[in-house]
């Protein structure tokens, strides 16, 4: 611990097994054993990410390359040092749980990481979510990035330069992440994702907020999208191998997973609709965050969102029966952009030209669904560049240019899929049926739409298939699902105007052809 400036006065536990981490959690009355063996935890009041509490240390290394602003808020080195010193003192007076792992299944581009936490179940989260090392690899392990995780330490805005008692700070010069004041485990994995998003473009690797799977013929598909749009659900398909559900890199050799686990939303999860994910929630070692339990049987009520809509399950990827190990694949044949359209006017599936693909990638339109961030209680329309702006230290144009180059080089087809509302906006219409979405995506990936007839959407200009097997034709045309045609026209015009207003900040750099590829 001395290499991290720690001088712990209590026990240090390194790379404990899941069983031992269960025992340590129960000994601290922090977690409950539930039906079928999973571990239940409560993270309130933080039941989602805290985007307003995320910082990057501004110094000579980051000054000219980080896209400073509302997403990448600067923190001075002095404030970082002050916060770090206080976190270290806090951790020195705690039992510590150290987990060594790797982020990135590519041997060349992966990153050795160490998580040091005061919480045993957060160490289990790191065990689940990152790539697990063999005993031989653990010997002599040298971290390349370290997370000092102090969920029970409260930052002081006046002393530490934070906005609240919560702070998630990345320091690229020190190669450290500080997490203070939040028990929400997702901050651990997303902070390392941000680190990779900063480091990998310099090595010619595109980091992506996407899931990935592969068909029997070796055809890889990517699914881009913010939380709640269906990345995990749609990539967990029994007929295809799962490469990963959230974070990937695209190198000269193909696609590789950053993680060794999945972090699935479980609100309204059912065995019928999502059998692979449901099965994983019933297994020992899985962590279930903020789910509601039957106090007598300890069975889970997945339909109860009274704690949060952002209930989560963390489990190793091999809990999914068709997981691909090691988590790598070839170059993608299909790329899917997922959006949960709260207006209910985007087609449920459409084919994009290369210019439209760049337009929609830079736009990153979706609706933030309830619970994914603090304060979000119902869907809110948002534009998140590259479908992952909260995790991008560099300017979105860096990632968009890399995607465009790779799409052109490998000839991947791009599809825009709306998993949001149909027949009206939020509060009037209903969410797109998962069975319909699966049928459309499967048709696209299988090549069944190659010779299909397409019609151009009158507002958004994208090509929409006239028919898809297993899907009623009227579902494919948003206007036909609305009872009130004038209300549809008004909602479509409103969303189109939002697209155009948002894209103004990219127009000069994107070029005329891409700028013209948006709504008409």
Active-site residue, from 41, 47, 227, 251: 227
Active-site residue, from 109, 231, 374, 406: 231
Q: Could you tell me the two tokens for 139?
A: 């010997």
Active-site residue, from 46, 49, 198, 406: 49
Q: Is 14 assigned a catalytic role?
A: no
Cα→Cα distances 254→14, 248, 279, 329, 410, Å: 34, 10, 29, 6, 10
Q: Is 231 assigned a catalytic role?
A: yes
Q: Is 218 left (phi over 0), alpha (psi -120 to 50) or beta?
A: left
Which burial class, exposed, middle or buried, applies to 317 when counting CB atoms under 10 A from its CB (0-12, 13-18, 19+)?
buried
Active-site residue, from 312, 368, 374, 426: 312
Strands (DSSP E) contained in 172-305 are: 176-180, 206-214, 220-224, 241-244, 247-251, 254-257, 261-265, 287-289, 292-293, 300-301
End-to-end CA distance of the chain: 59
State the Cα–Cα distance between residues 391 and 196, nearest whole angstrom: 9
Active-site residue, from 79, 99, 102, 209: 209
Active-site residue, from 246, 341, 457, 463: 246
Which residues touch 74 (CB under 8 Å, ≥6 apart)? Answer: 55, 56, 57, 58, 68
Q: Is 248 assigned a catalytic role?
A: no
Which burial class, exposed, middle or buried, applies to 14 when counting CB atoms under 10 A from its CB (0-12, 13-18, 19+)?
middle
Active-site residue, from 122, 190, 333, 436: 190
State the Cα–Cα distance between residues 69 and 28, nearest whole angstrom: 40
- Pinpoint the alpha helices (H) of 338-433: 354-363, 396-410
Q: Is 308 assigned a catalytic role?
A: no
Which residues share a beta bridge with 206? 250
Q: Is 298 assigned a catalytic role?
A: no
The answer to whether 395 and 505 have CB atoms below 8 angstroms apart is no
Q: Is 368 assigned a catalytic role?
A: no
State the Cα–Cα distance between residues 249 and 477, nearest whole angstrom: 34
HEC profile for 98-133? Answer: EEEEEECCCCCCCEEEEEEECCHHHHHHHHHHCECC
Q: Is 312 assigned a catalytic role?
A: yes
Q: Is 406 assigned a catalytic role?
A: no
Active-site residue, from 25, 43, 232, 481: 232
Catalytic site residues?
49, 190, 209, 227, 231-232, 246, 312
């Amino acid at each position: 611990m001395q290499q991290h400036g720690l001088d712990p006065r209590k026990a240090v536990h390194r790379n404990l097994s899941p069983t031992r981490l269960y025992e340590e959690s129960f000994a601290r009355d922090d977690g409950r054993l539930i039906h079928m063996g999973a571990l239940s935890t409560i993270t309130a009041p933080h039941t989602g990410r805290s985007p307003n509490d995320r910082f990057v240390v501004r110094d000579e290394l980051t000054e000219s390359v980080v896209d400073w602003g509302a997403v990448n808020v600067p923190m001075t080195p002095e404030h970082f040092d002050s916060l770090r010193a206080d976190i270290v003192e806090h951790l020195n007076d705690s039992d510590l749980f150290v987990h060594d792992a790797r982020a990135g299944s590519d041997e060349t581009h992966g990153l050795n990481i160490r998580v040091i936490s005061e919480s045993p179940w957060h160490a289990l989260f790191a065990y689940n979510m990152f790539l697990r090392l063999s005993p031989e690899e653990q010997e002599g392990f040298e971290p390349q990035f370290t997370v000092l995780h102090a969920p029970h330490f409260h930052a002081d805005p006046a002393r530490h330069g934070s906005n609240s008692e919560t702070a998630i700070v990345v320091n690229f010069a020190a190669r450290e992440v500080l997490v203070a004041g939040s028990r929400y485990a997702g901050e651990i994995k997303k902070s390392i994702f941000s680190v990779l998003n900063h480091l990998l473009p310099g090595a010619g690797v595109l980091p992506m907020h996407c899931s990935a799977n592969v068909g029997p013929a070796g055809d890889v598909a990517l699914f881009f999208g913010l939380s709640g749009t269906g990345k995990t659900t749609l990539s967990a398909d029994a007929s295809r191998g799962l490469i990963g559900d959230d974070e990937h890199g695209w190198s000269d050799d193909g696609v590789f997973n950053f993680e060794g686990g999945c972090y699935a939303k479980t609100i309204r999860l059912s065995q019928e609709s999502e059998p692979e994910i449901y099965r994983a929630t019933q297994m020992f070692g899985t962590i279930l965050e903020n789910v509601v339990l039957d106090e007598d049987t300890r069975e889970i009520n997945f339909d109860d969102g009274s704690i949060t809509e952002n209930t989560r399950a963390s489990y190793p990827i091999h809990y999914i029966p068709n997981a691909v190990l090691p988590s790598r694949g070839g170059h993608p044949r299909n790329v899917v952009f997922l959006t949960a359209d709260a207006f209910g006017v985007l087609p449920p599936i459409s084919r994009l030209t290369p210019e439209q693909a760049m337009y929609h990638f830079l736009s990153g339109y979706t609706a933030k669904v309830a619970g994914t961030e603090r304060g979000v209680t119902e869907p809110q329309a948002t534009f998140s560049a590259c479908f992952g702006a909260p995790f991008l230290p560099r300017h979105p144009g860096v990632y968009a240019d890399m995607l465009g180059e790779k799409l052109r080089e490998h000839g991947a087809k791009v599809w825009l899929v709306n998993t949001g509302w149909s027949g009206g906006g939020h509060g009037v219409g209903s969410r797109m049926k998962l069975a319909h979405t699966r049928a459309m995506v499967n048709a696209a990936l299988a090549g069944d739409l190659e010779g299909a007839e397409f019609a151009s959407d009158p507002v958004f200009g994208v090509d929409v298939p006239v028919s898809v097997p297993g899907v009623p034709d009227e579902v494919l045309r948003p206007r036909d699902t609305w009872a009130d045609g004038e209300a549809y026209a008004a909602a479509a015009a409103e969303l189109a105007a939002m697209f155009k207003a948002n894209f103004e900040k990219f127009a000069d750099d994107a070029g005329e052809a891409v700028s013209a590829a948006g709504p008409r």
